[in-house]
Amino acid sequence: MTAILTILNVVIMVALIFGLFTMQKKHVSFSKRVFAALGIGIVLGVVLQLMYGASSEVIKNSVDWFNIVGVGYVRLLQMVVMPLVFISILAAFTKLKLSHNIGKISGLIIGILVGTTAIAAAIGIGTTAVFDLEAIEIEQGEAEQARGASLEQRLESVQDMTLPQQVIQLLPANPFLDFTGDRPTSTIAVVIFAAFIGLAFLGVKRKEPEAAEFFAKIVNTLYSITMRIVTIILRLTPYGVLALMTRVTATSDYGAIMKLGEFVIASYVALLIMFGVHLLLLIFAGLNPVTYVKKTFPVLLFAFTSRTSAGTLPLNVKTQSQRLGVPEGVANFSGSLGLSIGQNGCAGIYPAMLAVMIAPTVGINPLSPSFIFTLILVVAISSFGVAGVGGGATFAALIVLSAMDLPVALAGLLISIEPLIDMGRTAVNVSGSMTSGVLTSKITGELDETVYIGEQEAIEA
């Protein structure tokens, strides 16, 4: 009977995918198809859980098949992430206009990313204080205790490292190993490696222009091919969102969510406030925030459902360059750097909230000016090198809590609602990355505002 019900669920999923494909053939806009996939996925997941139960064999087997579409799509995106990061940064140096102010552009992007992360930390502190959240009030079950023990073991790999040693970890000792994503800091290491090659290109360009021109043609050709691969994969976004959202809503532990509802609500309040800060920054720059929301919605939605900033990179870069008017070089830099520097949700809000919740358990007043100032500073500095994949927030929390001499095991209390909160965190991470690209382009006078205010469709090429 279980096999029959599983087959029935798979047939329903296939029929829904065919329906989305039919919408594409009828030229329904990309945004509308993604939004439709989100809604259908939520409804289907809830119905499946009500019918069979989140832990049933039918759900487990069905989700295994759904993952071919959902997880398969995310893996295709992850497949192209490292090549895209590398070739995008390298291509940025071959574009003459960007080469002239590369230092200013990268400095602005990093400054905005880290600055907004400091703001995110302050928002996390304030929200936790307003909701009066404390870790001591959260019930510890077997899963939470096991998670806490796991975090303490993981801490051993980072707690003995000084700040200079952590900075050294960003450097690519073996760039080919970093291309595999072996380390949490692999992405930024690849960025640094590509930047060194780009700087070498600029030197050769002055002394041997013919050789540099030949190299630039090769790089630009590889960039065009890579972006074409990205376009092919991104066409699958509605199907990926459908399968991912179905899995999330079918397998979520709603009982645990209700128990820890106050922390969930506080987290999303903080995340929404931070997203509002992004929009305010755009307003201060003289840009329409409503336009930004409309054009970035598919990107943020995919980030929300997939919980991976790295997997969202191709969609991030293409949306910045094609829909927001950001030059390709700036979009590549902001997208790539945003994977490992200044993630507003995972490296900003989340560690700050945990630190404020845990501090009272060891007799520290989390609202003392010295604690707040130190925490914001530690969060901003430790935001370098946070991986843009699942688990990045945990890595950031370990660094921050250990730097503040707070017990890391209590962070395991939130294991049951971690996926739900991580969805919102990832969307805010990606928004921060795109905002840095738009603001940098505006400050340097390179933003194409006719594209920003235009109505052209994205990801249809």
2-452 CATH: 1.10.3860.10
Count of Cβ atoms closer than 10 Å to residue 231 Cβ: 14
Q: List the structure tokens of 25.
A: 């053939």
Query: Which pLDDT score, from 0 to 100, does residue 332 have?
Result: 83
Query: Which pLDDT score, from 0 to 100, does residue 136 have?
Result: 58
Query: Which pLDDT score, from 0 to 100, does residue 166 have?
Result: 65
Q: List the structure tokens of 379.
A: 């969060």
Identify the sign of the CA torsion 77, 420, 377, 403.
Answer: negative
Residues of the chain with pLDDT under 70: 95-100, 135-167, 184-185, 255-259, 385-395, 408-416, 455-461
List, for residues 423-451, the tens digit of each pLDDT value. 899 999 999 999 999 999 999 888 998 99
Q: List the structure tokens of 297.
A: 């919605």
**Where do the domains of the chain lie?**
2-452
Query: Which pLDDT score, from 0 to 100, does residue 188 have?
Result: 74
Query: Which pLDDT score, from 0 to 100, does residue 277 have?
Result: 96
Q: Which residue has the tokens 């980030």?
A: 303
Query: Which pLDDT score, from 0 to 100, does residue 290 have?
Result: 94
Burial of 78 (0-12, 13-18, 19+ CB in 10 A): middle
Contact between 227 and 80 (Cβ < 8 Å)? no
pTM summary value: 0.76
Q: Please give the single-letter amino acid code of residue 355.
A: A
Query: Which pLDDT score, from 0 to 100, does residue 132 have?
Result: 84
* CA dihedral of 213, 214, 216, 220, whole degrees rounded to 10: 130
- Please choose, from the candidates 180, 50, 10, 111, the residue with its C-alpha nearest in 3D space to the C-alpha of residue 333: 111
Q: List the structure tokens of 150.
A: 């796991």
How far apart CA 215 and CA 239 sit, in angstroms, is 38
Query: Which pLDDT score, from 0 to 100, does residue 428 have?
Result: 94
